[in-house]
Amino acid sequence: MSAEQRSNTFYTPSSDRECPKLDIAPHFLAIRRGWLDQKHRASDFTRDRSKRPGHPFQVYPETLSFEHEKIAGTGHGMRNSTAAADHLWDEVSTGWLGERSGDFQSALRAEVQLQSYARGEFTYHIGDDPGGIYGLAEGSFGVYASSESAGIVLGHIYRPGAWFGQGPMTWGKPRYLSFRALEPSRVLSLSLQAVDRIRRRLPNAQREFMSLTEYNQETMSRTVSDLLIRRSDLRIASVLLRILDDRSASGKQTQRTRGQMTQTELSEMANVSRHTANSVLKRFEAEGWVEIGYSWIDLRDADALRTFARG
């Protein structure tokens, strides 16, 4: 392929499929919400597979790439037990996976592959073909959805222990969310082929996989509920708790209270201006509930912030 041809195409991380030019005109509504402040292009989050030659708003994203790694030994998955493999497995087992049966967990561990993402890279985009699921072991991923009125918007941030990507696995339709690494991150991925192998091997596997949809439904429900809170300071408090009040499957508080998050990202998730988010965060910091750093927020007193959020 010539250099000119390469400039007009890009490749998905998991295959050599060429993708068409993008049409980002519908997403320029996102500009009014400060999207350009984050120096993101709406075209980074969605791929329009319909060809529209000659459209004035066509761009060519850079090639996305990530490193494929084997966690231990040879062959598939994490069959061997090493300190590094055990640590990563512990991280992805703090949520949904930790509530699954032992045989199901063992089957997943034998099949998953470790993948590394640099800040700004995607696991997949809106409109991509169906694929497998991902367990977040290190770092964080922003969850982006498409809004008819506001373009591509950030709704939630996943942290270690989260599993995602199950939607198209259950109904065979294209991806309807984008997941973007907010910092250097590592995930354990399970391909559709591996999912099928586990389903054939374990009688209860179908139910176990389906439970991920219900598990993540709770996060979506909380996201919607947060946006229905009228007072902006209470809404911001609730969003912070949803993302930073990190609890294991047993319900116990973990040690992960600091999250990668800019004030612009927080303002978008809470549907407030950046100025409002900044002033509210300063108030929360003065109360000792949070600590603010460069592109991160640390939850210092979850109970006090929760009491405030309840009004």
| Residue pLDDT, tens place only, 46-98 | 554 333 233 222 222 222 222 344 443 333 455 555 888 899 999 999 899 99
Q: Render 24-73 in DSSP notation, one character per residue.
A: -GGGGGGGGGTGGGGT--GGGTB---S--TT-S-EE-PPPP--EEE--SS
Write out pLDDT tens, residues 230-270. Answer: 999 999 999 999 999 865 333 444 556 788 899 999 999 99
Write out pLDDT tens, residues 130-187. Answer: 889 999 999 999 999 998 887 899 999 999 999 999 987 777 788 989 999 999 999 9
pLDDT at 83: 87
Q: For residue 303, what are the contacts with CB-CB under 8 A and spacing of at least 6?
A: none
At residue 26, the 3 state secondary structure works out as helix
Token readout for 175 is 């991806």
Q: For residue 256, what are the contacts with CB-CB under 8 A and spacing of at least 6?
A: 159, 160, 246
CATH code that applies to domain 230-309: 1.10.10.10
- pTM of the predicted model over 0.85: no
Range with the lowest mean pLDDT among 36-40, 73-77, 159-163, 208-212?
36-40
Domain with CATH 2.60.120.10 in the chain: 67-224
Domain with CATH 1.10.10.10 in the chain: 230-309
Residue 115 is inside which H or E element, if any?
strand 113-117
Is the pLDDT at 274 greater than 50? The verdict is yes
Considering the segment(s) 67-224 as one domain, its CATH architecture is: Sandwich (2.60)
